[in-house]
Each structure stands twice: as structure tokens, then as C-alpha cells.
Chain A
């Protein structure tokens, strides 16, 4: 079943890609092939392989149960939030929060997670910023 859905999504993707290729505005100065031809070939490969996947599906993988799926979803959300809040909070705080969350959800006790998260953040800051001189996001506090 998973592969059927995957094949169908792939086919939609291929069609969308082909459509987006067809509406590319061509410049008046163009080579013999133009900017559309290659993407259309790729769209064809994408579409054909999606069809094969759809009609000859493999055995479905073990999808995690709903709680685990939520777990992964929450981690994705945390990472996106991290990406957005990084310039607002500054590197050290944002990283400590995100690392603490991930460590906690991977099965560490809350207190050790907090310690480990803060150490991770400070450690990366020390190695990459103080020693190696990489510029990291600066928050309102300057770190």
C-alpha cells in the first residue's frame, strides 16, 4: 500500500514538474535545446519510474504506530522552530533548548537531558566559535 501511495505521489510530482517546465518563459536568446527539454526528459523518467512503483509495489515497510509518528512530527516541529528562532534567541540558548528536547525524547531523564543539552550547546560554541572562529547566530545577549 505504501508503495502505491508513493507511486501516485511520484506521478503527481512528475506531472507538476513537467507542467512547471512547460510554462518556463523562454528567453529570446536561446540555444538549440532550450531550458525546457532536459527537465521534460527528467519528468518522463520520474513519471515512468513512479508508474512502475505504483504497479509493482514492494512489501510495505513497518510504519511506526501513531505515538511514534507524533514523536517524529514533534521533532520536525522543534527543528523548524529552531531554524526560525535561531537568529532571535542567539546560538547558545536556541541550541541548548533544541538539544535538550532531542536528548530527552531519545530517552534520557529530564535532568540529565538539560545538563547534556547545555553542555552540547556550550561545547559546540566553544569549539566552533571561540576556537575555530566560525560566526554563529548572535542573539540579543550577544551569544
Chain B
């Protein structure tokens, strides 16, 4: 009951004209960014953070804008999967498998609207899951002391590579690099400068927004330059969208699939180290095992479109649970959303729910609003979004680069930060070539200081005894999970990744002939 009244308060906050307009704008931009191949949800949110920040929006309005972008990008990813067989972002990979064959059979419109509805169901249920689960998690989190928090951060890093990670050494390297970057600047506890080499600009540390925008957005530009993706235009593909609304019987036959997939996706989102990509993968494979008796999956079965879309949108909602309740994001995009919170001076975690309930519930209400808007927007306006796909990347990428520059310059007005950002862009490009994940770097720059502070607090409380870190059963449990989470992918990672790739290749072969 208490939850419902808080939620009602949230709606009061979210339902102002300004916030509705921001939600609309966010949904629209998000869907576009999701739809464009190469610009995923992390990129989209990353580019827009500095803008929301420099526009002087308050905490709740900025959050509404950016989470709408986040949900929107999750919706948008399916459009290019279905129409072009190119996933708009990573989680939409599984949607290609049945979405593209459906489009080839002349049912593109149905596939698009069905997947829109599946996305809605997934995100809607996941938002309810968030409302129910997050306050419970908060109760547990209130028992955490500094030592437990330090263990929790370690757990987050250890599992960030995910089950599908192939090289844990590279994940560890990336995390250490990120945390190392966070230690640059004046030490918060004793006031001595560290790793600044006398450069005044470095005294307040490296702005994580500069790092994020450089690593994500600019490295994408360099990748395009390297491959000269100019030829990846959509001009060659002419797809007739066809009938827009799916029939009731089709929707009815997909409903159980959507419900099951939403549940699985939500779980995958909440658990550390899984995230939306795995959510859609699990949802699809499970559904295939369960209902695919005639072997129609992969040849344009509508259920094969509904399952991964419900799964990945539910996972997107689920990933918000640990981010809001514990302050520890479990996926790349939620890491970027954490950056939003931190740059707005909001520290997520258990105290957020008690101290700033307006932010939390306003955000949750905004998620509901965004979700409805996206559903409404995605069915009639689908034609507009498909046209966006016709903008060639050679025009688009420079715009992305320039908007990134504008955002960062807007924050600090310093050329130095822009040069640092270009540096991060180059670093991001090289690391991506070397298959080093970028998300741990981002998370490291975001959480590095909090992690160090908790470590030092824990040990100072116990008068310099380092065993304070493994003093309570709770922290021992977290450490054990961290070790297991780190070691598991070394054993199983290759198997899982090979299976994802294998499936994707199989289907590709099937659609070519």
C-alpha cells in the first residue's frame, strides 16, 4: 500500500508538461539511436548526459529524459534487426533470427508492431518487478557496512565481464585501468595530489563524462573511419512494411511467450553480469526449446520475434534494480545511467529511497509514462523511424562526433577536456580492436573513488586491521560470489559465446539460401 502511494506521488512529479515533453523527446531520440546501427543505448545516453547537464535541468527532469532514451533505445534496436538484418544494438541480435525472415515474407509491419507490443509487455512487467523488488533489496542493503560495500563493488567488477566473457584477464585489466583513472586527482581523505604530474587541470581528477563520451561515442567514429562504413547504407534493401497491426489471434498466441520471456529477461537483468543481451538470448533459447515443436523458429515465427524483444526490454528494467537499490550497475547502459546520477550529485543506493524518494518514484513513474509513449509512438510512427535508417552513417557519424564535442565543451568550456576526450576516443578504438571490454573502464572511473573510500573506512574503523574486510558472514558471502563470478566464465564462457555465434551463423545461412 505504501508502495502504491509513493508511486502515486511519483506520478504527480512526473506528470508536468515539462516532464512529459522531456519524456516524449527522450523516447523519440532513444528510438532513433537504438534503430541506427552502431549507436546503441550506452552511446545514446552517453552523448546526451552532458547536454542534459549543461541545459541546467533539475535532477528528476534529467533522469526522466535519459531513462526515456534508455528505454527508447531498447525499443529501437529491433527496427533495423527486422528490416535490415543488422542489429541496431547488441541486445537486438536475437531479434534478427526471426524478425528478418518475417520481413522477407512480407510481414515486416506485423513483426515491427508485434515486437513493439512485446517490448511494451517486457518493460511494463519489469517496471513492476522493479517496484516490488527494489525496496526489498534496499532492506538488505541497509545492513551493509563499508567492508560489505567494498566486497559488493568487487563483486560488480568480477561479474561485469558476464557469462559470455572470453578473456577475464582483459576484463580485469579494463576494471583496473578504470579504477586507476579514478584515483587521479587530489586524494579525498588526506588532500594530497596523486598522479597529477603537476598538471593543474588534473587536480580535480578526470571527469568521467569526458571518459565515457570519448570511449563510447568517439571510438565509434574511429571504427567507422577505419572500415569506411559509408557503404552500409540501407539503399539496397527495399522492404515493404505491409500490414501494420497483428491480428488478435496472433497476439493471443504470443501472449504466453511474452509473459515467460519477460520473467526470464527480468531475472537476467537483475543478476549481475548478465544484462539485456543475455536476457534476450535466454528468452529466445528457452522459448525455442519449449514451444518450437514444428521447427518454425528461425524461419519467421512470430513467437521468435516476441520472445527476445520481451526478454531484452524486461532485462533493461531489471538492470535498474541493483543500480538504484545498491548503486552498483550490472550492465553497460546502467553504468552510464549511474554516471547520470553521479553527475547530478545523487548517490544511488539504499539511502536514496529514504532520503530522496521523489527522485526514485518520479523516475519509476517516468518509466511507466515512457513505456506507454513508446508503445503509442512505435506503432503509428514506425514509418518515420524506418526512414531514419536511410540516413547514411557517413553523414551521421560526424554529427555524432560534433554533438559529443558540444556536450563536453558545454560542461567545462575547456579545450583541455576536449583533447582528453579525443585521447579517450583513441584509447577506446585501440581497446575495442584488442577485444578489451569498455564497460569495466567506465564503471571503474565511476566507482573507483567510492570503492577506495569504503576500503579505507572499513580498515580505519578496525584500527588498520586488513582482516576487517572479511569480518562478517555477509562480506564473506559477497567475496565468495565475486570469486565464483570471476572464475565461472573462464570455464563456461567459451561454450556460451560459441553457442550464441553458432546460432547467429546458422540462421544467417538459412536466410541466404
Contacts of B55 in A (CB 8 A): 132-134
A39 to B363, CA, bound (A): 36
A-side binding surface: helix, strand, loop or mixed?
A: helix
A120 to B397, CA, bound (A): 11
Partner of B397, one of A63, A72, A102: A102
Let me know if A106 and B190 touch, CB within 8 A. no
The residue in chain A whose Cβ has the minimal distance to the Cβ of B195 is A20
Q: Bits for A60-85, please: 1 = Cβ < 8 Å to B, else 0.
A: 01011000100110011001101110
Let me know if A76 and B399 touch, CB within 8 A. no
CB distance from B448 to the nearest CB of A (A): 8
CB distance from A52 to the nearest CB of B (A): 4
Contacts of A3 in B (CB 8 A): 434
The residue in chain B whose Cβ has the minimal distance to the Cβ of A129 is B406
CB distance from A81 to the nearest CB of B (A): 10
Q: Is B403 an interface residue, CB under 8 A from the partner?
A: yes
A124 to B399, CA, bound (A): 9
A12 to B73, CA, bound (A): 39
The residue in chain B whose Cβ has the minimal distance to the Cβ of A108 is B394
Let me know if B226 and A68 touch, CB within 8 A. yes
Contacts of B399 in A (CB 8 A): 99, 120, 124
Contact residues, B200-255 vs A (CB, 8 A): 218, 221-222, 224-226, 228-231
Let me know if B230 and A108 touch, CB within 8 A. yes
Contacts of B393 in A (CB 8 A): 106
Let me know if A49 and B221 touch, CB within 8 A. no
Partner of B226, one of A64, A82, A87, A91: A64
Contacts of B456 in A (CB 8 A): 31-33, 38
A53 to B55, CA, bound (A): 43
Contact residues, A1-26 vs B (CB, 8 A): 2-3, 6, 10, 17, 20-21, 24-26
Let me know if B183 and A38 touch, CB within 8 A. yes
Let me know if B401 and A102 touch, CB within 8 A. yes
CB distance from A5 to the nearest CB of B (A): 9
Q: B: which residues have CB within 8 A of A?
A: 51, 54-55, 166-167, 169-170, 172-173, 175-177, 179-180, 183, 187, 189-192, 194-195, 218, 221-222, 224-226, 228-231, 393-395, 397-399, 401-403, 405-406, 409-410, 413, 415, 418-419, 421-422, 425-426, 429, 433-435, 451-452, 455-456, 459-460, 463-464
For the complex with contacts A31-B456, A71-B225, A120-B398, 4 further pairs of A-B residues with Cβ separation under 8 Å are A42-B180, A83-B418, A98-B402, A124-B399
